[in-house]
Amino acid sequence: MPELDLSLPATSAYVAKALEEIGITPSLVGGSGLTFTLGNAATSGKTVLLRADMDGLPIKEETGLPYASCNGNMHACGHDMHTAMLLGAAELLKAHENKLSGTVKFLFQPGEETMHGAIEAIREGVLEDPHVDAALMVHVMTGMPLPEGTIVASSTEGIISASSDWFDICIKGKGMHGAIAGSGANPLETVTRIYLSLQEISKTMLAQGETVVISVGVIQGGTANNVIPETAVLKGSVRTFSDSARLKAEVMIKECAQQTAQQCGTTAEVTYIRGCPSAITDHDLNQQLINTIIDCYGESSFLDINKLMPGGRLPGSEDFSFFTREVPCTLAFLAAGCTSDGYIYPIHNPRTAFSDEVLHRGAAIYAGFALNWLKSNQL
């Protein structure tokens, strides 16, 4: 029963019950989020945050699995896997709490898919009381030619994922009979021209050394074959790897819509929504994470993201990026299904599936990283 955005009452209750069964009482944060601490702040004064997201997507599941979603939503991004792994880490660290050289703060976060959850938790003070000094998230991957259980991390600091913004463009023209279309202002023509011009923006910025991906996911307008509608709508997303490119793309999209509409005798109303910035990793935390991966599962289980993706940057976005702008952070990606083993569908696909066999690895990386980082950073 996957739930959406910030309202995850059943999910939150399930996780809270699982935690209470191992002697942990969590507190609510960020809507349906849950947080708690383990360890002893007096030992070092340092605190590390472990974060997992819990929300699903408004996708009807088509996996045919016996435990497939039955409410029209789907965990197509593996957030149920993340939740399970962090629960495993909580059980591990609770059993070895006396070995913690500091404090581990846990966050089970809602609203990642809508980019609401992290910023809401930060506003409600999840990074304080006690103050968080470092943070880790683990994300599963599937539908890729990576051996199951491979753990991907970055050996270099800096940007590791793209920012994510959205735009809605509403074009207003003059509706009329299709037989006299040339006498009015056709919003569908405007939308078509804008769509083609947006692709040129990406090419222009690439020539200037900036990678920008503009994706149009919605084009709507009209209800009948022989009627020119009054309005038409175009919606899409924008991904960039730098704050400067992010701002430039926003300006260029707005100018493109307004100028094209004017040329076509229509008007354009542009709504531009800032989602999340690009995520940034910390060099020392990256090295600590890599050491933990190798200590737990050997060098053959580690893959440097720089060998997987051009420039070591993922084109996808992650609202954990809000945490990376506040405290030093690192990210791990866990291969939970290889294409050669039949896991051919990527995340956000109605048929995507994940292998449960890797769950213990995610739990161990969460717990091992917390233990090792706190030990290495005792005051």
Task: Give 175-200 pLDDT, tens digit per residue.
Answer: 888 888 777 799 999 999 999 999 99
Same domain, residue pair 126 and 170: no
- Residue 57: the pLDDT is 98
- 365 and 291 in contact (C-beta within 8 Å)? no
Task: Give 215-242 pLDDT, tens digit per residue.
Answer: 999 999 999 999 999 999 999 999 999 9
Q: Is residue 215 part of a domain?
A: yes
Same domain, residue pair 154 and 199: no
User: Where a domain ends, among 276, 297, 317?
Assistant: 276
Question: Which of 42-46, 129-133, 228-232, 252-256 bottoms out in mean pLDDT, i.e. has the lowest?
Answer: 42-46
- Over its C-alpha atoms, the chain yields an Rg (Å, rounded) of 23
Catalytic: which of 113, 165, 282, 319?
113
**Residue 130: cis peptide before it, omega within 30 degrees of 0:** yes
Q: Is residue 111 part of a domain?
A: yes
Same domain, residue pair 218 and 284: no
CATH of the domain at 82: 3.40.630.10
Listed in sequence order, the residues at least 6 apart from 105 whose beta carbon sits closer than 8 Å to its beta carbon are 35, 36, 37, 47, 48, 49, 50, 126, 130, 132
CATH of the domain at 245: 3.30.70.360
CA distance 326 to 122: 9
- Residue 354: the pLDDT is 98
Same domain, residue pair 153 and 177: no
Listed in sequence order, the residues at least 6 apart from 55 whose beta carbon sits closer than 8 Å to its beta carbon are 2, 3, 4, 5, 6, 8, 11, 79, 110, 111, 112, 113, 114, 117
Q: Is residue 3 part of a domain?
A: no
Listed in sequence order, the residues at least 6 apart from 35 whose beta carbon sits closer than 8 Å to its beta carbon are 26, 27, 29, 105, 106, 107, 108, 121, 126
* DSSP β-bridge partners for residue 239: 213
Pairing assessment for the beta strands 231-240 and 212-220 based on DSSP bridges: antiparallel
Tokens 């490119």 found at: 245
CA distance 192 to 170: 12
Average pLDDT over residues 99-118: 96
Its domain, for residue 29, covers: 9-161+278-376
Same domain, residue pair 129 and 182: no
Q: Is residue 4 part of a domain?
A: no
**Residue 3 known to be catalytic:** no
- Residue 82: the pLDDT is 98
Q: Is the dihedral of CA 331, 333, 334, 336 positive or negative?
A: positive
Same domain, residue pair 56 and 200: no
* DSSP 8-state assignment for residue 132: P
Same domain, residue pair 29 and 130: yes
Average pLDDT over residues 242-253: 95
Catalytic: which of 3, 5, 53, 91?
53
- Residue 378: the pLDDT is 84
Angstrom CA distances, 312 to 61, 154, 275, stand at 31, 7, 22
Same domain, residue pair 146 and 13: yes
Q: Which residues in 282-368 belong to E strands, given as ranges? A: 302-304, 329-335
For the chain, what is the domain count? 2
- Whether the full predicted model's pTM is greater than 0.85, yes or no, is yes
Q: Is residue 295 part of a domain?
A: yes
Q: Is residue 1 part of a domain?
A: no
Stretch (H or E) spanning 338: none
Same domain, residue pair 157 and 173: no
User: Where a domain ends, among 276, 304, 327?
Assistant: 276
DSSP 49-74: EEEEE---BS-------TT--SSS-B
Task: Give 332-378 pLDDT, tens digit per residue.
Answer: 999 999 999 999 999 999 999 999 999 999 999 999 999 999 999 98
Same domain, residue pair 148 and 51: yes
Q: Does the structure show a pLDDT above 80 at 41?
A: no
CA distance 316 to 240: 10
- Residue 1: the pLDDT is 95
- Residue 44: the pLDDT is 78
User: Where a domain ends, among 244, 276, 308?
Assistant: 276
- 146 and 303 in contact (C-beta within 8 Å)? yes
* DSSP β-bridge partners for residue 140: 334
Q: What is the mean pLDDT of the chain?
A: 96
**Residue 326 known to be catalytic:** no
Q: Is residue 2 part of a domain?
A: no
Same domain, residue pair 351 and 282: yes
* DSSP 8-state assignment for residue 46: -
Average pLDDT over residues 44-65: 96
- Residue 31: the pLDDT is 85
Q: Is residue 355 part of a domain?
A: yes
Longest Cα–Cα distance in the chain: 80
Task: Give 58-89 pLDDT, tens digit per residue.
Answer: 999 999 999 999 999 999 999 999 999 999 99
Instruction: With CA atoms as reference, report the closest residue to 85 among 375, 322, 327, 355.
Output: 355
Task: Give 267-317 pLDDT, tens digit per residue.
Answer: 999 999 999 999 999 999 999 999 999 999 999 999 999 999 988 999 999
- 308 and 151 in contact (C-beta within 8 Å)? no
Same domain, residue pair 293 and 256: no
- Residue 238: the pLDDT is 97
- Residue 180: the pLDDT is 85
